[in-house]
Amino acid sequence: MLITGLAVGAVLGFVMQRGRFCVTGFLRDIFTQWTWRGVTALLVVIAVHAVGLTALMSAGVIDPVVSDFAPLAVIIGGFVFGLGIVLAGGCASGTWYRSGEGLVGSWIALAMYALSSAAMNYGPLSGMNDWLGGFTVGATTVPETLGVSPWVFVLLVVAVTVVLVRRFVLQDRAVPKPATLAPTKTGLAHILTEKPWHFYVTAAVIGVIGVIAWPLSAATGRNSGLGITTPSADLASWLTTANPANWNWGVLLVLGILVGSFIAAKVSGEFRVRVPDGRQAVRSVVGGVMMGVGAVWAGGCTVGNGMVQTSLFSYQGWVAIVAIALGVGAAAKIWLKPDQPYNPQDDGPSRRVDGDLAPAAAEIPGGTRTSGSAVLTAPVVNASALGVVGSSPADKGSLTDLGNGRWKMDTLGAVCPFPLIEAKDAMKRINVGEELVIEFDCTQATDALPRWAATDGHEVTQFETAGDAGWVIAVKRGA
């Protein structure tokens, strides 16, 4: 029966990769985009989970055990975890499935996350966990405290979710449809490997997977459903000690996520080994450690707390997701900035070039634009993840002039949300009617960039692949 963990994980990894499902991004958008559109997808998961798990409990199929609420551990741990997932470039499940896309930064964060969570659960840091989690209050779930049926809260969450989904779907229909890549496949192959998956549909599928996961996991003696932190810690412990007690359904679940996301990335042409720069590598290390420590303190990550415990209406789950969101918000204010933000008081757009201001000839993926015989050489924007203002002024904050009102911005190697952050900043530097040509290899940006262009009234004049896990999009600035 353990093999069912691998199967469930593989399906989950495939779905998450194809749906670009990123809880870190959903929470981050509250503070950077001022929208709850993404968080509504998380509510869809919770609502589907709540219906399914409550039905299974009512039928006596599963019997979840919810621990007493440890407020200090949950709040502090959730906040630390929120800081860490921004540094690492993704939450626990996101780090697993992005590792399957070939992101070496995610490999680093994943290793540190697994090791630190193992140290907190079973190793020399376990005393920290026992100390902070030692203060508890005699409360487990809200329905139990109020003495009402959990179905009351299930119906409430479903009603709120339906209202929000309807609102944002109508809102999406009110703006021009975002540009998409030209299809190269047909039928089921196109739907599964090319067509963008709407994240509300993706969220509903993830919720169903979570419901199925619990009885399959319980059949092996593991009374839990989807979870990332403890299985990651168990995997690290098993790899270092070969203790058979650490080899369980949850371990196969997370390994399945890696397998499923790799398959999804390969068949969709989105797998390529991508090595981060030194700064992002360091932040992946720090972020991974913070993720492991914070998740163990909080009793779970954005899956264990944010999707499962919330659907059980435990105090731990709902307080943890709020604490995680606050950590993400604090991290967004500190780190999520363009390397050299545009200053409208500067003397004109930042278009620093080396050499003569002659007509340019430049080749970009998808075609060549030539005007005259001279070639402009210029520093290229290289938006690295979690940049700090002024960190490397020699090669930051400038655009390459392609001629004829076209400017190139290179964000190759930058992780979400930096292609979008840098694109928004760069768009302020060019004139209305001019084009910004963006080269990127961040999978999530295939949705974020065209959606931004449509929402902000810019025109996408080019959007195509440039090899495996590489894309180019040209956006003409609107009024």
Q: Which of 300, 81, 307, 141 is nearest to 213 (CA)?
A: 307
Are β-strands 400-403 and 459-465 bridged in parallel, bridged antiparallel, or unpaired?
Answer: unpaired
Cis preceding-peptide flag for 417 (omega within 30 of 0): yes
Say how far apart CA 122 and CA 234 lie, in whole Å.
9
How crowded is the C-beta side of 389, counted as CA atoms within 13 Å?
Answer: 9
Q: Which of 125, 30, 42 is nearest to 317 (CA)?
A: 42
Say how far apart CA 425 and CA 419 lie, in whole Å.
10
> Is residue 471 within a helix (H) or strand (E), and if so which, with residue range?
strand 471-476
Instruction: Please report where in the chains the tokens 């545009």 appear, as a residue.
Output: 342
For 356, counting Cβ atoms within 10 Å of its Cβ (0-12 exposed, 13-18 middle, 19+ buried), the class is exposed
Catalytic residue selected from 22, 91, 301, 416: 416
**Cα angle value 225/226/232 (rounded, 5°):** 120
Beta carbons of 288 and 112 less than 8 angstroms apart: yes
Are β-strands 435-440 and 459-465 bridged in parallel, bridged antiparallel, or unpaired?
Answer: unpaired
Are β-strands 471-476 and 361-364 bridged in parallel, bridged antiparallel, or unpaired?
Answer: unpaired
Query: From its phi and psi, is residue 386 left (phi > 0), alpha (psi between -120 and 50) or beta?
Result: left
Say how far apart CA 293 and CA 288 lie, in whole Å.
9
For 351, counting Cβ atoms within 10 Å of its Cβ (0-12 exposed, 13-18 middle, 19+ buried), the class is middle
Tokens matching residue 371? 């005007």
Q: Is residue 416 annotated as a catalytic residue, yes or no?
A: yes
Q: Which of 201, 225, 168, 183 is nearest to 50 (CA)?
A: 225
Q: Which residues participate in catalysis according to the annotation? A: 416
